Structure 1
Amino acid sequence: MTTPVSGAAFINALNNTFGRHPLARASHPKGVCASGKFTPAASLNKLLASPLFDGRALPALVRFSVGSGNPNISDSARVVRGIAFTLTGGRERYDLIMLSEPVFFAATTASFLSFMAARIADPATGKPDPAKVAEHNSRYPDGVKQPALIAAHPPTRSFLTTAYFSNNAFCFIDASGKVTTARIAAEPVLGVQYLSEAEEKDALKSYLSADLAQRLEAGPVQFTLYALLPADGDSLVDSTAEWIGAERIVMGTLEIQAMAAAESCDTHTFMPLNLPKGIEPSEDPILAARPGAYAVSVTRRT
């Protein structure tokens, strides 16, 4: 029987690797806040029956972020980008958190803790010990794919030219009770765009927030949200396994309209299991563990 891992263990692992930064999130502490709306597509009714999605546009609080637990990380670092948003309507709330790669770096809680421990900086070099990283990879090969994908391309040019993926699967329930398991993807209408080699080298430390403000001054920018249905053999519980995928169903359009005050996001917590009626979590162990970790992080930073 697997011993449950406490939320504090996850946050301690992040703090041990990246340092503890008062008032900051333990993961993805560097971010910027925006506001917008989500307009559901008619095809969303194929997937679920929910009072939240009745055809009306829903207000969205959005936070874009840069991966790692270091609030001073450069925007040009080869790490994931993140998007988190909250949709609200009536008594329903939906929080969705996505990353810029289609896979996570740990399939289990044990792998997560080992991944972090292997990346604690060696005091002599200020960098992770390659031997410890290699030992982790040997024990937990699920942790190899996401770092390889990140290393394979330059950072994206903008938060608004980045594709985002839920990594975890969710269960959508329609009016008849039929359950469809799917992952979620957000594709930028502007297309995915990467920095050139020269731009990556010369990028300002916080170019992403400046770029976001500049683009939104010119007008709203949209993402199309899709529910990706699994192909035969796609794992419903392993967030490190990239899906082949089958049918894609359009969920709707997320429109980023304006910058928002930092306090709007700083005092808000995007919780992965804040789900509206009609959406339930899969049995992915990482998804199940996340709320406890988020709760501890909130307590420590407030």
Structure 2
Amino acid sequence: MLRSTLAAALATLSLPLAAQTPSASPYDFIDAFRALSGEHKGIRKGHAKGVCAQGEFVASEAARTRLASPLFSGQGIPAQLRFSMAGGNPRVPDSTRSPRGLAARFELPDGSVHHLAMLSTPVFGAKDPDSFLGLLRAQRPGPDGKPDAQRIAAYREAHPDTRPQAEWLAGNPPPWSYATATYHGLHTFYVQGWQGERLKVRWYLQPQDGEKGLDAAEMASAPADFLAQRLEERLRQGAVGFDWIMVLGEPEDTDDDPSRQWPADRAVFKAGTLRISQAGGEACTPINFDPNVLSAGFSAGADPILRMRSPAYAISFGQRLSGQ
């Protein structure tokens, strides 16, 4: 596990210098999350609050015949998962208007692994590390413990790439359950096809239970901690299913800006189904869900946010294991 984390971080660091050296550093993000959420030793710096789960992924016939990665062999692929709230506060209320996360670690028969890291918003909060770091710094609380709304608004006005996610969150209610949210991969990847073609893709996991959000009354009265309980209650009725929907990009679609959606008319196909059978426990706690850990047949796009994740995650992972 640690070997996979370090390998991914080193792979990122081996990229051409111009592609990996924005002014924002991985340590800057660790400091920014601490400034936003306080010091929580031994806890994830991002997505601090969450619940582990276990399940299995089975590829569809469409994926088996089209995609060369062993992830899509059609065999049952065991998965360790984690549902989470965004941010570094482990006590954030579950009704907060913020992204929900779903991370997965697939364990392939040949011993390799594949990671996913997804959000319940269709776009990321900024286009690149510098813009995202600036947004985090603009959101830092002042002496009264509250963020400065005018400062945040001014930053978003000067950086329009930071507005789409905020506007989506303002216009959509928080999920009623972890099982009733769609989770988006956000970044662009390339997958090898059986005919040698290199397919440009994004993806999302669509809940088989359907999307459902909190209504206004529920947002006002919901307890601080209900998402883990609702997931466990739902699992008593049977497995929770998500359809993995693959979106095929066109040459003109961005592969380096996760703050921009692709056009809605892009071709899609169902790549398989992820079924979650149980939740709870600590199996996901020692896992670093770095989305740059990919199985054979996958490669990452040119997204600088994606590239920054490996070193930032590795730093956070090391600090967490050492109790920092």
Normalised by the length of structure 1, the TM-score is 0.95
- Displacement of 1:234 in angstroms is 3.0
Residue in 1 aligned with 2:293?
274
Equivalent-residue separation in structure 1 for 2:134 and 2:200 (angstroms): 29
Question: C-alpha deviations, 1:50-100, integer Å up to 9, x for none?
Answer: 233321011111100011111110000000101001111122211001000
Equivalent-residue separation in structure 2 for 1:52 and 1:196 (angstroms): 38
Question: C-alpha deviations, 1:92-131, integer Å up to 9, x for none?
Answer: 211001000100001111001101000001113x221123
Question: C-alpha deviations, 1:213-246, integer Å up to 9, x for none?
Answer: 1010111010000111225643221100022141
Equivalent-residue separation in structure 2 for 1:252 and 1:176 (angstroms): 20
Q: Which of 15, 28, 50 lines up with 1:9 in the alignment?
A: 28
Q: Is the 8 A contact 1:48 1:279 kept in 2?
A: no
**Does residue 110 in structure 1 map to residue 130 in structure 2?**
yes
Residue in 2 aligned with 1:252?
272
SS at match of 2:50: strand
Structure 1, gaps ≥5 residues long: none
Q: Is the 8 A contact 2:200 2:250 kept in 1?
A: no
- Displacement of 1:286 in angstroms is 0.4
- Displacement of 1:46 in angstroms is 5.1
Equivalent-residue separation in structure 2 for 1:52 and 1:91 (angstroms): 12
Q: What does 1:111-126 align with in structure 2 at a 5 Å threshold?
A: 111-124=131-144, 126=145
Equivalent-residue separation in structure 2 for 1:29 and 1:288 (angstroms): 21
Equivalent-residue separation in structure 2 for 1:145 and 1:21 (angstroms): 30
Q: Is the 8 A contact 2:54 2:276 kept in 1?
A: yes
SS at match of 2:283: helix
SS at match of 1:264: coil
Q: Is the 8 A contact 2:101 2:117 kept in 1?
A: yes
Percent identical across equivalent pairs? Answer: 35
Amino acid at match of 1:181: K
Question: C-alpha deviations, 1:162-204, integer Å up to 9, x for none?
Answer: 0010111111111332111111100000110011211111111
Equivalent-residue separation in structure 2 for 1:13 and 1:144 (angstroms): 19
Equivalent-residue separation in structure 1 for 2:298 and 2:101 (angstroms): 21
Amino acid at match of 1:48: L
Equivalent-residue separation in structure 2 for 1:169 and 1:284 (angstroms): 7
Aligned residues: 300
Residue in 1 aligned with 2:10?
none
Structure 2, gaps ≥5 residues long: 1-17
Distance 1:46 1:286, change over 3 A: farther
Equivalent-residue separation in structure 2 for 1:174 and 1:166 (angstroms): 20
CA RMSD of aligned residues (A): 1.5
Q: Is the 8 A contact 2:57 2:77 kept in 1?
A: yes
Q: Which of 205, 224, 230 lines up with 1:205 in the alignment?
A: 224
SS at match of 1:224: strand
Residue in 2 aligned with 1:159?
178
Equivalent-residue separation in structure 1 for 2:130 and 2:66 (angstroms): 33
Residue in 1 aligned with 2:111?
91
Amino acid at match of 2:100: R
Residue in 2 aligned with 1:101?
121
